[in-house]
Amino acid sequence: MSRDVDFPPLENGMDYLVDAVHRLVATPSPKDLKYAVLHLHAGVEVLLKYRLICEDWRLILDDKDDKSADVTEEDYEAGRFRSIGIGKALKRLQTLDGVTLTSGQKTAAAALDRFRNQLQHHGLTSTAEAVEAQAAKALGFILDFIDSHITPETHLTDVDEQVLDEAMPDIRGALGTINALVNQRMQHLRSVVDLASAAWCPDCDQPAVLLESQHTDQSHGPEDDHPRCAFCTARWDSRADYVDDFTSIKLGLSHYHAAHDGADSPTEHCPECGKDMLVWFDPDTGELGPDPNGRCFFCECEFNDRCPRCNAPVNNPADDETMLCYDCLDDL
C-alpha cells in the first residue's frame, strides 16, 4: 500500500526548524550538530522563499539559469526549475513593500550560509559552542521574520496558520534554552574577557576574542600574538589573519571589492603605528553601523572621528567640536 507524502513549503520549513532546535537543546553529538546546521539552513531558506512565493512564484527562480524564462507554472508545481539560495532571497525580499532587514539579521543569515557551505564541502570544523551561538542568532532572525512578514495578510491558509501555531512555541522555547546556554558561558568568561582587549569573533559572533598571547619573553610584540576566542576556542596565527576574517565575515568587506568595485576598504593605515590594521565598525555589535568607531588591531589605538581637513582618523574628546589631526595642526 502506498503512502502519500505531503509537505507544503511553510510546513516543510517549520519542520526543518523544529528538528534543528531539538538537536541543539540537549548535549549535541557531532552528528546532531551536522544535521542541526543542515536543517536550520534548509528551514530558513524555505521560509524566506515561501514569503517570496506569496508575492509571485517567479521570484524564487534563479535568473542565472538560461531556462528560467521558459519555466511555466506547471513546471513550478512539479519542481522542474532551479531556485535561488538564501543570499539572493534576502536581496529580493528587500525589494518588497513592507519588508525590511537589519544588518544584524543579514549577518546571521550569511553566517548560517557559511556554516552550511563549510559542512558540505569541507566538513564542519567549528565547536559546539560556535554552532549553538550562531544558531541562536539565525533562529532569532527567522522567528522575527515569521512574526513580521509571514502573517495572515500574506495569504496564509487555515492549515498554514495551524502549522505556525503548533510549531512556534516549540521553537521559541528551544531558542530560550540555547540563548541561556550561550549567556551562561559568556557570564562564566566575563572576568577573563573584561580584563583583556576583547574583540568580536567571526566564528561564534561573541565578543570574546583575546588578541594578546601570554608571552614570557617581554620582547614579543603584537606581531607575535596568536588571537583565540575564549568562547568557541577559534584560533588565528596572527592578528592580521584575525582582521582578515573579521572584516570579511562579520563586516562583509574585502580588498578585492574595494579595488575592483569601489566598495569600502576593510582596513586603512593607522596614523599612530602605521600598520594597515585600522577597522571602522560599531563596537557594541561588531558590525557596520551609522556611527562607527575606528580600532587599530595592532597598536589598540581607538578613533571616533575624522580630521575635517584631510579625513585622517582622530580621537575627538568632545562630541560638539571638530578636531584637526596632528599633521594638519603642524601645517597651520
Q: What pLDDT is stored for residue 326 in this prediction?
A: 83
pLDDT in tens for each of the 332 residues of the chain? 444 444 588 999 999 999 999 988 877 888 888 899 999 999 999 999 999 998 999 999 998 766 778 888 898 888 888 999 999 999 999 999 889 998 888 888 988 998 898 888 777 677 888 888 888 889 989 998 998 898 877 778 888 889 998 999 889 888 888 888 888 888 889 888 887 778 999 988 899 999 986 544 445 567 778 899 999 888 899 999 999 999 999 999 998 888 888 888 999 999 999 999 999 999 999 999 888 999 999 999 999 999 988 999 998 876 666 678 888 888 77
Closest CA to 19 of 33, 40, 34, 5: 40
Closest CA to 20 of 129, 124, 170: 170
Q: Is the pTM of this model over 0.85?
A: no
The Cβ-side half-sphere exposure at 92, using a 13 Å CA radius, reads: 24
Q: What pLDDT is stored for residue 69 in this prediction?
A: 80
Q: What pLDDT is stored for residue 29 in this prediction?
A: 86
Instruction: Give the cell for residue 126.
Output: 567549528
Q: Which residues contact 205 (CB under 8 A, 6 or more apart)?
A: 107, 108, 111, 133, 134, 137, 250, 286
Alpha-carbon distance of 54 to 59, in angstroms, equals 9
* End-to-end Cα distance, the chain: 91
- The four Cα atoms 167, 168, 171, 172 give a dihedral, to 10 degrees, of -160
Rounded to 5°, angle at Cα 88 from 86 and 93? 90
Q: What pLDDT is stored for residue 234 in this prediction?
A: 87
- Cβ–Cβ < 8 Å for 170, 18: yes
Q: What pLDDT is stored for residue 329 in this prediction?
A: 85
Cα torsion angle, 77, 80, 81, 85, sign: positive
Q: What pLDDT is stored for residue 6 in this prediction?
A: 46
